Amino acid sequence: MASKGVVKRGQIVDLYIESLAYGGMGLAKMDNFVIFVKGAIPGQKVSAKIYKKKGGYAEAQATQLINESPYAIKPKCNHYWICSKIQNLSYEEQLNEKACQVKDVFSKLGGFTDFKLDYIKGAKNIYNYRNKMEFTFSPNRWVLTDEPEGVDRSFALGLHIPGRYDKILDINNCFLQPEIGNRVLSISRDMCLKYEQLKPYNPKNHIGFLRFLMLRFGFNTGDFMVNIVTSYDDINKLSPLTDMLLKKVPEITSMVNNVNTRKSDVSFGEYETLLYGETHIKEKIRDLTFEISANSFFQTNTFQGEVLYKEVEKLINFKGDEIVYDLYCGTGTIGLFLSKKAKEVYGFEVIRSALDDAEKNADYNNIGNINFLKANLDTFFKSGQLPKKIPKPNVIIIDPPRAGMHPDMAQYLPKLEAEKIIYVSCNPTTQARDAKILYQNGYEIRKAVMVDMFPHTPHIETVMLFSKQGF
């Protein structure tokens, strides 16, 4: 085998894929030199072309399959490798690889040499599980190499090609969303191709009308929202599409038009117009009902979201007298879910609209022992902004964004002296980094659970219980 010294950009090499790297690429080695391979899964032998080389590793694209993996399965989607990435890997092996990634990250980055996952909560529904989808309208369709010549490149409704803001893969069927979503996709595409006025927005020259098609599903209620994001306000221009959707998809319970006149390529608008039904959908988790508006945050997998919250509840092991802090609470779903078992819950969040949703859902469910505070958690506790009337916590729940906690927050958190800290994370790398800080400040990992929120994708969700060392 070649050594790292002769691995060059443009080189074709034969590689055996040993494992799945974080992010979904296959991991191979040449004389212990690490090569990450796009489009490859553990157990495969592939030919791959090196397209990037750095000091400690290289990246390659699989170009030919030499030997198939014993873990390979036939994927449902013909372009899975662009978005879900690992749909051709058996679900059992997906769980195994994700678990190995968590262990590896905590061992190497966190320094937890004896780290182990206590158990893994796999999903019962591994297809059609997403309750929210975001599709982009575009005049710049990405044409795959196996598509016929002469494909119209001037229209696409689908998902971004990774690393390309301006190229969209046209999607006919997404097997991660409910089938009704695919019906809406098909109708929307047909109407846009039929009516000249329904032109997609071009992010390069900022000309065009349609920007995004956002779908939200209430799995336990049957509610269904269609949110069409446009570059300016013109309901009459939009009406051929909206009228046809309402005619052919009677399951729609809410239709809104978000208007984003800004150049920024984001799916939430500056303002919203209700076109049909309610301004929100409802979803139930256990005995709670949540109102979800077009731009609200809600766990994207309803069923596994409930599994996740139950794991948090189990790790806390409530006695009934607990003061709970829910940090990075978003719309308050975790805190609301736990409120009936706790004495009091305090949710902290920086986004005002999320707090508005949280307070609304607390009122809707007649929950009186939960309070929400606007707080920038990068500085909030350190700067002493916590009102004196709020009691100190027995339990702290942390569910930060992918970047994890701010270093100041991670350092300050142990000073609150909570008996238990529950850390929910969608990024084991930053969780391991923060766990190391907690350990240095007197907290140990007592339990670690992986909950698979997104089957067929490389995403990982973990829940960990920390408590004071020596207890």
Q: Any idea which residues carry the catalytic annotation?
A: 426
Which stretches of 371-415 are DSSP H helices?
A: 407-412
Q: Number of helices (H) and strands (E), helices first, in the chain?
A: 8, 23
Reading the block at residue 450, the tokens are 């992986």
DSSP string, 331-375: TSHHHHHHTTTSSEEEEEES-HHHHHHHHHHHHHTT--SEEEEE-
The CB-based long-range contact list for 271-276 (8 Å cut-off, 24+ gap) reads: 273/233, 273/235, 275/235, 275/238, 275/242, 276/242, 276/246, 276/252
Q: Count the helix, strand and coil residues of the chain and give each as a percent rounded to the nearest 5.
A: 25, 30, 45
> If residue 65 lies in a helix (H) or strand (E), which one and from where to where?
strand 57-67
Alpha carbon distance 335, 347 (integer Å):
7
Strands (E) in 260-343, as ranges, are 271-277, 280-285, 288-293, 323-327
Burial of 45 from C-beta contacts in 10 A (0-12 / 13-18 / 19+): middle
Is 39 within 8 Å of 81 (Cβ atoms)? Answer: yes
CA torsion angle 384 389 392 398 (round to 10): -70
Nearest CA to 404 among 415, 413, 395? Answer: 413
Is 154 within 8 Å of 215 (Cβ atoms)? Answer: no
Alpha carbon distance 206, 229 (integer Å):
14
Give the bridge partners for 119, in sequence order.
449
For 17, residues 6+ apart whose C-beta sits below 8 A from its C-beta are 26, 27, 28, 37, 40, 41, 42, 43, 44, 45, 46, 69
